[in-house]
Amino acid sequence: MSNSPNKLLVIGAFFSIYIIWGSTYLVNALGVQEVPPFFWAGARFILSALVIFLLLFLLKIPIKTTRIELKNALIAGVMFLTIGNGLMCWALQYIDSGMMSLMVAAQPLLIILMLWIVDKQVPKWMSILGCLLGMLGMYLLINQSNFINTRNEVIGLIIVFVCLIFWGIASLFVARVPIPQNQFLNTGIQMGIGGICLMIISLFIEDVSMDTYYNSSPMMIPSMIYLVIFGSVIAFTSFNYLLQHVSPEKVSTSTYINPIVALFLGWYFNNEVITGRTLVAASILFIGVYFINSQRYQNKIK
């Protein structure tokens, strides 16, 4: 870890993972209101992969990987992006972007439970307390009359939990198998296969025609560009830069900031409702995730 990272770059990188990643929930929510969700997500990831491979070419970074690393990156891309992100984009048709961001913030809770089940790793007391608080926060969050009113909202809620499960499985998978060491290459492969699979799904189940573009608002193309350049390339690069130059617990603070940004933007720009109970549930959930993350990093240091 570098002793003297560029302060301006660090500040800019934190801005990226805080604000940009937090804003992608709203941008995706607005996008799927006019463009079929699987097509929307597939286009984003294919374009992002093309940008990344173009950067690799321009920077003359060798594209080298073994067959097993390529295979593992492809599997991870399907789990992370085709299933995880693609289904979340679909669920955004029925669930508010801010509410979804709070549910995603519970991901560390699910990882702890998976490690407990799969590896028999009994969590420490702080992690157990964090899990209990996380469960309480999630219960208060989803058990609201204004949150689940229709069958589609119930299905959307179930889909989000399916996405979190696949994100958890994928996270455990990539931590145990060899993947391309170059993070740009790894991301490019994952986004490429994830986008291609989403486009195939869209071809079979979604009605996409030129009318989709003619009838969409003028903001659709800028929104897609924003997701590709800022949401995918810049924010991801910033994330990896911070992992190399600051402590991991500081990087993990994006877990708490992203939902706050998403809640505010959804309320301000998309008329999403924020109730007092949502704020209480979010606070309890954040405290639980804090306990889980702090215990995780203490274990790493030991």
Distance CA(280)–CA(257), nearest Å, equals 16
* pLDDT the model gives residue 91: 95
193: burial class by Cβ within 10 Å (0-12, 13-18, 19+)? buried
* pLDDT the model gives residue 298: 54
Amino acid identity at 92 = L
Amino acid identity at 195 = G
Task: Say if 2 falls within a structural domain.
Answer: no
- The mean-pLDDT minimum among 71-75, 168-172, 185-189, 242-246 falls in 242-246
Look up the domain containing 82 and give its range: 7-301
Rounded to an integer, what is the distance from CA 207 to the centroid of its chain? 26
- The mean-pLDDT minimum among 41-45, 243-247, 267-271, 283-287 falls in 243-247
Dmax of the chain from CA atoms? 58
- Mean per-residue pLDDT of the chain: 86
Q: Which residues contact 189 (CB under 8 A, 6 or more apart)?
A: 49, 65, 70, 73, 74, 77, 180
* pLDDT the model gives residue 131: 83
Number of domains into which the chain is organized: 1
pLDDT band for 190, please (50, 70, 90 cuts).
Answer: very high
* pLDDT the model gives residue 3: 55
Q: pTM here?
A: 0.86
pLDDT band for 302, please (50, 70, 90 cuts).
Answer: very low
Distance CA(49)–CA(47), nearest Å, equals 5
| Residue 120 backbone zone (phi > 0: left; psi -120 to 50: alpha; other: beta) | left
Average pLDDT over residues 92-119: 86
Average pLDDT over residues 236-243: 80
44-64: pLDDT as tens digits: 999 999 999 999 999 888 888
Distance CA(119)–CA(115), nearest Å, equals 5
CB atoms within 10 A of CB 146: 9
Task: Say if 111 falls within a structural domain.
Answer: yes
Task: Say if 165 falls within a structural domain.
Answer: yes
Distance CA(222)–CA(226), nearest Å, equals 6
Query: Which of 134, 124, 174 lies closest to 298 in space, CA to CA?
Result: 124
